[in-house]
Chains A and B, each alone.
Chain A
Amino acid sequence: MDRESDPVAALVATVAERSISYDGLSVSKSDGLYTFETTERQVTDLTASALGETAAGDPFVDNWFHWTQRSRSTAEQAFLRWVEHAEERSVPERDAALTSGGVVREWGQLRITATVVDGDRRYELRHSDDRDADPAELERFVDPRKAREIATTDDKGRYRPLKTAPSLSTGWLFPELTGASLVEAIDFFYPATIQNWSLEREGELDVTNWAAAADRQSGIYAMVDELSGEQLEWLTEACCVDSQCLKRREWDAADGEEIDTPRGAGAFPCREPCSVVISAARKWTQIEREDTERYTFELTPSEKDQLEALVAAVADGRIDEIREAEFSDPANRQRARYLRAKRFDAEGSLSTESERPS
């Protein structure tokens, strides 16, 4: 057995060069003899071969091997350890959980269950809303690239331009991913979230605030730097809160100029305004260039309530829930049609008299 595949061979070869101290395991060499110590036991004065016998089958050694002798990026390593609470839980605690039912973590709308099967870590991935679903009822996938297709449309078949919108479709299952393929699948569901989360943990997240991001834009988006102050409150309220996007907004208006809109409670950060926000900002910039006018029109109190309810229904994405003939709902379609027939002209405009405020 070689040190690539055998934990004991790897341990003996490593400790011949330097001491080991990892997750409650310490192995060191002094005067040609080895000391093997875990939170469970201590064995001293071991020859190299006796060290091998002592280490064989020890869960601390397997843990050390799994986490230190395989090639992973910093982000992948940090994430996979986070998944099984490696920083907070001891090796025996983790082993017990991983071999009986598994350890569960949620990442956006993803639910990850880590287990150990025959000594190898395996990860199950499904939608968090499918937590209680019978696996036999879910469509099964093996190739992590399939995540790209799953992430493309929501449960109603509508295209999802923003990957971290809370509209991930349900009904699928990756029953057995390796660590590397789990990270790959998550990168297709939520691109770059693991890397940015890891950078944030290291204190190295490179946040670009609105001012710098807007300043960088060119072409048709160059105009977005006109938005500021309250407009940025409204913009983030429109796009970035948890009901719209699961990233936690870390960018602000500028250095020292915070945007008060709640940042969100997501696990992973948003480091700069995304392309959807920049594109929306272009529209709002155009609209904000207009001056206000004063309009005069008449509405009954119920009709005013109804207009407010219509805006709320669209803004909250509630349109599809409003039932046919549900006339108690002010955003009901027939009620909207009645209002239009009564108060709007043939062009669909609210009949008004308008004047510019003097």
Chain B
Amino acid sequence: MSAREGTTPAPAPRPHRLGAVRTVLASLALALALVATMMPVIASDTMALGLLAFPLLAAMVLAAVIVLAPYRLCLLRGPRAAGLLAAVSYAMAFVLISLIAAHPGQAGSGFWALVVVAWAIAWLSVEEMAGLKPRQPLWGRAIALAIPLTFGAWLLILWQVLVVGFAVPKVLLPPPSDIWVRLIASPEVLWADFRQTFLKGVLIGYALGCGAGFLVAILVDRVPFLRRGLLPIGNLVSALPIIGVAPIMVMWFGFDWPSKAAVVVIMTFFPMLVNTVTGLAAADRMQLDLMHTYAANYPQTLLKMRLPMAMPFVFNALKINSTLALIGAIVAEFFGTPIVGMGFRISTEVGRMNIDMVWASIAVAALAGSLFYGLVTLAERAVTFWHPSVRR
């Protein structure tokens, strides 16, 4: 519970104990590792190979037991435990992945048992990492990064192992390795799609939509009547499926990027309008009175106080819009494009059952989206460094 977290450790060094989760996981991993030595690792109709047929894997299992046993007995702990557990789990994952790549669809019960062992060790390493309280902030930052990365890496590892181990048809779900191969094999196509959709449609539409929303908000703010009339409508429109205007925009502006940019403009306009108007109203009475005592005129009040106060709201809109813009441009391409673009690629390759290409496109889109969002967040940190949610 959160109340406990802020406090310092108890006085007398209590005997080191593992929590319930860790005890269960460590015991389970140990038991499974031992049991797996007696189960077939690779099995098909014609053959069954045990652990001893794969010396590298056997060595890994040995290493796992050597780390797990003292860990379970509470002899191994702290940063060393976290590091050793992580190393063993990744090494096991690597060996398991290369093993199953050679025998797709022939995973035996021993194989799956070892997958569970490796996963349990990875979880334990994360438990240990999460419990570390390093003195140096740099280490703290590194751990805060390592934990989600481990989680993401294991998502990919399990995906790879499950898909290859069960020989899932590639048209249903390709393994990450195939997607990676596709990704590095077709950079020209992906780059052309990226340029068409992101650099043209998304960025231009985003700049126009956000800029227009911001300027209109400042105008609207000067006229209380308009503010009262437009704010409820803007709020309503923000909740509507605006994406539906895509076919109309395609009809009006043609198949090429201007129609995508137009969809993005419409989608990003209203969140920016609503947020900026709200932000401009965020200045409280006392601060307005202060500007009043200085006899500041409207532009001075706007520039020196109300716009800076509104910045957190503006950046909120910029962040929301960075996601909306990408969605808008991709979905708009479902309604018609020249033969290039991320949305076009996704919809046509799905039709051709080239699912690995689809995933490669999605990976590019995800990366672009995250980077875009990250850049906006960095800008936010720089501009609104004074705000409590950024300050530390």
**Are both chains from one complex?**
no
